[in-house]
């Protein structure tokens, strides 16, 4: 598969999806990072409060682009359940983000924006794996099956 096809044609190719998710992650990271900087530097919020708000902005961008461009197959019929699981993965990611930022900033002494960069790389891998496995594997789950399993 060539690069043009990987970026433009709907596909279930893991490598194409990973490339697209990487690009979406970059856009979401820019939204997250910019919001973190603006809220901390100009909004005068504590960096961890800013990080939580900014992370939510990034997740919104990520979800929108993931369901419209990255993943061809969806595992759930119900969009509300899909978004709820996407959000739960995001909340776990937010907890990891906050913990990692605190650890790298407070214990290792990194500047909070450096901490964000390191945390983002770790969380990127977690988010892709969890979202691919739970939401976009291509194995359709009916709403009845979801209710029984959850």
Residue 31 confidence (pLDDT): 95
Distances (CA, A) of 134 to 53, 63, 91, 94: 25, 14, 15, 18
Query: What tens digit of pLDDT does each residue of 124-135 get?
Result: 889 888 988 888
* Cα 112 from Cα 91, distance rounded (Å): 20
* Cα 49 from Cα 36, distance rounded (Å): 9
Residue ranges per domain, the chain?
13-149
**Res. 143 pLDDT band, cuts 50 70 90:** very low
The whole model's pTM is what? 0.68
Query: What tens digit of pLDDT does each residue of 29-65 get?
Result: 899 999 999 999 999 999 999 998 998 898 889 888 9
pLDDT higher at 65 or 143: 65
User: Of all residues in the chain, what percent carry a pLDDT higher than 90?
Assistant: 36
Does the pLDDT at position 117 exceed 60?
yes
Locus of tokens 């964000």: 116
Residue 45 confidence (pLDDT): 97
Residue 150 confidence (pLDDT): 45
């Amino acid at each position: 598969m060539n690069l043009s096809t990987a970026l433009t044609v709907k596909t279930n190719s893991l490598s194409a999806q990973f490339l697209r998710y990487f690009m979406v992650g970059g856009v979401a990271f820019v939204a997250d990072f910019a919001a973190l900087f603006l809220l901390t530097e100009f909004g005068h919020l504590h960096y961890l409060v800013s990080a939580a708000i900014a992370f939510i902005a990034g997740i919104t961008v990520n979800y929108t682009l993931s369901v419209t461009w990255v993943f061809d197959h969806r595992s759930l019929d119900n969009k509300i359940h899909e978004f709820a699981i996407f959000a739960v993965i995001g909340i776990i990611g937010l907890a990891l983000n906050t913990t990692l930022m605190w650890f790298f900033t407070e214990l290792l002494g990194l500047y909070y924006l450096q901490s964000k960069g390191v945390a983002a790389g770790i969380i990127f891998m977690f988010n892709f794996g969890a979202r691919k496995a739970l939401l976009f594997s291509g194995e359709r789950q009916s709403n009845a099956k979801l209710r029984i399993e959850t």
